[in-house]
Structure 1
Amino acid sequence: MMMRILGSIDRVIGFLCKYLSIAMLVALFILLGLSIILRLVPLFTISGYDEVVEFLFIWIIVLTTVALWREGGLYRVSLFENLLPQAGQLVLSVIINLAMLGFALMLAWYGWQFAANAGETTPFLRMNKVYWHAALPVGGILMSIYSVVWLWRVVAERRTLAQDNNLIG
């Protein structure tokens, strides 16, 4: 029962990361395209344009990183891993996953501090920049959770990322 609930939460996170980042990318292309057109034919101006673009960029980067992190789809050099025997591949996978977990925890911790201390307000929209900076701790927390899951799979199930490139399985 608990695994079904966790699997459902995982699928929701995967769905949100994928489709929110796609929607934000489309919005970004529309804004950038409209900006180019409005330079040629200045019918009106887009107020707060830079603020919205900045918001979209940071959240696109974080959401797509979480999506790739979740799927184990980040870039890696498998040449060295393939040269090792099975036991060496497992040890290397543990080291890699611990390093990824360390990075994710640092991102969550320092991202939280950065967001919490962000007293800046955007000039046009008059919004607190915490909504921009919140991407860092949110992404770090999600990446940390997925890193622990990947680490558990490597240690408990003796599977490297190359053998199982899907978290849900």
Structure 2
Amino acid sequence: MPSLRQRVLAVSRTLILTLAATLLLINLAAILYGVFMRYLAGGAPIWTDELARFLIIATVMLAAGAVWVEGGHMRVALIERLLPRALARVLNLYQWLLTLVLALGGAWFSYRYALSVGMFTTSGLGISRTIPLMSLPLGFALLAWHALWYGPAPLPTITEEVA
């Protein structure tokens, strides 16, 4: 039977990746609409480019924590494999703490920044800049959430099979 930690991570990853996939589909629809309007209807509304840009940033930020837990991000784990087991554990603890500190710091600073630009509006959508920028602190907070639940264990690595 899976532990509470594993269940929380599985449910959280599933929900977040589903939300990120939905945002990606909306992004695709906005881009296709913009292309259709530009090349077939004679002129695209300016908001399609801006919406696509905000959606791709939100998609990446929301999915970052789930991808980090799966080991699907770009990293080199060579040092971990070459170190003795005790030193590898220390390195894993260091990486975990660094991830937590950077994610929490990113959440805090990006939240403060998103609130500070609330008086400005976006050029295409005409909404407060705070709304699209809130994907940054949310994404960093989700990365910290996933890292906290994952703990200082070694991250999974994706290995290539040699034919």
The verdict on how the C-alpha distance between 1:89 and 1:162 changes in structure 2, with shifts beyond 3 A counting, is: farther
> What do the CA deviations read for 1:84-126 (whole angstroms, capped 9, x no partner)?
1111110110111111112101111111111111222234533
Matching residue of 2:50: 51
Matching residue of 2:160: none
TM-score, normalization: structure 1? Answer: 0.76
- What stretches of structure 1 of length at least 5 have no aligned partner? 164-169
- Superposed, 1:1-169 pairs within 5 Å as 4=4, 10-42=9-41, 45-46=44-45, 48-119=47-118, 120-151=120-151, 154=152, 159-162=153-156
The CA distance in 1 between the partners of 2:42 and 2:7, in whole Å, is 47
> What do the CA deviations read for 1:30-84 (whole angstroms, capped 9, x no partner)?
3223323333322564352133112212211101212212334322212111111
The CA distance in 1 between the partners of 2:127 and 2:54, in whole Å, is 11
The verdict on how the C-alpha distance between 1:96 and 1:73 changes in structure 2, with shifts beyond 3 A counting, is: same
C-alpha RMSD of the superposition = 2.5
Q: How much does 1:19 deviate?
A: 1.5
The CA distance in 1 between the partners of 2:99 and 2:64, in whole Å, is 12
The CA distance in 2 between the partners of 1:86 and 1:23, in whole Å, is 41
The CA distance in 1 between the partners of 2:49 and 2:100, in whole Å, is 33
Identity of aligned residues (%): 27
Larger RCO: 1 or 2 (CA < 8 Å, sep 6+) = 2
Matching residue of 2:161: none
SS of the residue 2:73 aligns to = coil
The CA distance in 1 between the partners of 2:6 and 2:149, in whole Å, is 12
SS of the residue 1:128 aligns to = coil
Aligned residues: 154
- What stretches of structure 2 of length at least 5 have no aligned partner? 158-163
TM-score, normalization: structure 2? Answer: 0.78
